Chains A and B, each alone.
Chain A
Amino acid sequence: MRERFSLKRDYYAGGLMLLLGVGAAVTGTGYKFGSLARMGPGFMPVMLGIVLAFLGILIAGTALASSEPDDKKFLPEHPQWFGWLCILGGPVLFIILGQYAGMIPAVFACVFVCALGDKTATYKSSAVLAAGVTVFGVLLFHYLLSIPFPLLRGVNL
């Protein structure tokens, strides 16, 4: 039984839904519930939370009942920790640099870091790609579409 538990992804799936559902329902009780005729803001969250929790139990339950083997682990076969870090790091840099340094450094850093995530990428290839995208991005978004995003903060371009 314990082995079965550790092997099925659907247990995690059901558990996550149960958790989210209960969380939503509990948070929802903090808002006014009202009655059927005069629903308060808490009515839908509580109801939906209960439904989601129930679905979570069903998902885990059907996995328990089914005899089909599902030995896939939660993580993929070859976890791409570095790739994931790069994909998430790009936007983080975009936010920080965009807020304090401006569009050019933000775009360059975002594309550069994201590109590094690929196994075959080198610093040079990533930099070339990032430079290209930055030029294109500035032309399109700054000059053509003129979105309010200074190219370099503090410098009047």
Chain B
Amino acid sequence: MISTAITDLYYGFGVALEPHNLMYCFLGVLVGNLVGVLPGMGPVATISILLPLTFGMPPVPAILMLSGVYYGAQYGGAICSILLNLPCHPPHAVTCLDGFPLTKQGKGGTALGITIIAAFVGASFGITEMIFLAPFLVKMALEFGPAEVCSLMLVGLLAGSTLAKGSPLKGIAMTVLGLLVGIVGSDIETGQPRFTFGITELFDGVEIIALALGMFGIAEFMNSINNTETVDMKYAKVGISDMFPSKADLKLAFWPMIRGTLLGSLCALIPGTGPTIASFVSYATEKRISKTPERFGRGAIEGVACPEASTHSSVQGDFIPTMSLGIPGDTVMALLLGALIIHGIVPGPQLISQHADIFWGLIASFWIGNILLVILNVPMIGLWVKLLSIPYRYLYPSAMFFVCIGVYAANNDMFQVGETLVIGVAGYILLRLDFHPAPVLLGFVLGPRFEENFRRSLLISRGDLMTFVERPISAFFLTVCVVLIVAQIYVWLRKPKLLAEEKAIEAQVPATPYSELAG
């Protein structure tokens, strides 16, 4: 098994190192790092803007680039948290707690250095996990019939909506709304137009880019306009020489880094728990097992190393269910899955065998991309810090331009720009009502495939709903669903202590001037 993995990986590096692919991978991580640093911009909006520009490309460089934006943004996001105390990227919000005190003590450079090391360690582990686990999952998944696929999707949808932040009920409501939005357009089997209200442009369905940019672009700008504080650059002075941590710091950070990595990779495997949850859980764990918990929140180097390692390992691990099963764990993955579909690639267990170049090329590009990011971040830290001071009043109008032209470029159709606008207003209303829009995208992407498989499995069973319970694998997934729901009801009724502790940590994080969407 190890030898096949090595040959596959060797092949992957061959794909990823082709000059063309390498260039797009570099472009992806560069843009990712950039939007990660800029407060108020997130990977979801960025990937949606870049998506239409990849239509003319072959799928491999397109996917390498779009993925690069995601993990590149994680490197940039930490800079914002540590130097400015601005948790503009949810996965790095918890890093503020110890990162900013370190900056105030003049040790911001050390914190950044530790972050980069932790990031690389975490990412490497996440990638290794993907190499060995994904083919194994595929072997299992190839046995799945439509009933199993259906139940598995249900797990993904439920987990994605209940484990995310905010009220689980509202999360589920958003998933259902996403499924309904996914229905818009012609029915696959009969061609009957549904929810189109006579608008011919809607017969092909709602454009995924319009949905993502409306919800995560326009709604987000409406939320944060004139609502952002001026950025305080008082402490944000870091040179390369400050970035090399001392031996004592490294020793202190070593075990937290390993623990964070392991926790992050675990979180990645549970659908619906992305990097944000991983970082909070690992920070809470680290604080609890520490011999000196009182140091946390006052500039403990462990409090930076542990959540950062777990974020990065979870980000890489996030790709596992998406690439092997075709079930995305969070918004970014849903978007990448949409990108795959647009490029004519059917996501699912057959992806690794049919499109080995994408899968292994992607894995190899992760490593190359992470090395590039380390190179980008250490010598160029001064430049990134300067970018932090770009005021929001220049950022959002430029971003609006990219939103408009990006949506237009998808189909060369102004109708889509209007569609984005309408979705943006709807998204803002939902946001004001405390609905988190992430599950909408998840439901939207999975919806059509869910319906197709649901119909097919009942066609096979001749309308017998028991088919979902009688087949053991499907029954297992349904049990997981029930456990998820029961757990939520238990939490709602009992409010366990563990959760209260996590809430307390969450409360300490400085209030973000941006909504939680940027992640």
Contacts and interface: CB of A to CB of B under 8 A. Distances in A.
Contacts of B179: 44, 48
Contact of A74 (B222, B421, B432): B432
A45 B404 contact: no
B265 interface: no
A40 B458 contact: no
A62 to B, nearest CB: 6
Contacts of A78: 226-227
A91 B433 CA distance: 24
Interface in B182-214: 183, 187, 189-190, 192, 194-195
B192 A52 contact: no
Q: Interface residues of B: mostly helix, strand, loop or mixed?
A: helix
B463 A35 contact: yes
A9 interface: yes
Interface string B404-422: 1100110010100110110
Contacts of B424: 88
A91 B424 CA distance: 11
Interface string A86-117: 01101110110011000000110011101101
Chief secondary structure at chain A's binding surface? helix
A55 B172 CA distance: 8
Interface in A69-92: 74-76, 78, 80, 83-84, 87-88, 90-92
Interface string B37-68: 00000000000000001000000000000000
A22 interface: no
B400 A91 contact: yes
Contacts of A98: 408, 414, 417
A52 B177 contact: yes
Interface in A41-78: 41, 43-45, 48-49, 51-52, 55-56, 58-59, 62, 74-76, 78
Interface residues of A, number: 71
A137 B397 CA distance: 13
A39 B435 contact: no
A15 B269 CA distance: 35
Given A9-B433, A39-B458, A40-B190, A118 B401 contact: no
Contacts of A76: 227, 432
Contacts of B408: 98, 147, 149
A41 B192 contact: yes
B169 A59 contact: yes
Nearest to A84: B222
B218 to A, nearest CB: 7
B223 to A, nearest CB: 8
B458 A75 contact: no
A87 B433 contact: no
Nearest to A108: B401
Contacts of A21: 176
Contacts of B429: 16
Nearest to B410: A147
Contacts of A74: 432-433
Given A80-B226, A147-B412, A90 B400 contact: yes
5 A-B pairs closest in CB distance: A37-B463, A36-B463, A41-B187, A118-B393, A115-B397
14 contacts: A13-B434, A31-B187, A41-B194, A48-B176, A55-B172, A59-B169, A83-B226, A87-B218, A87-B221, A90-B397, A90-B400, A91-B218, A91-B404, A107-B405
Given A20-B180, A110-B404, A121-B393, 13 more contacts: A9-B433, A20-B177, A28-B194, A36-B464, A36-B465, A40-B190, A45-B183, A52-B176, A55-B169, A74-B432, A88-B421, A95-B414, A115-B397
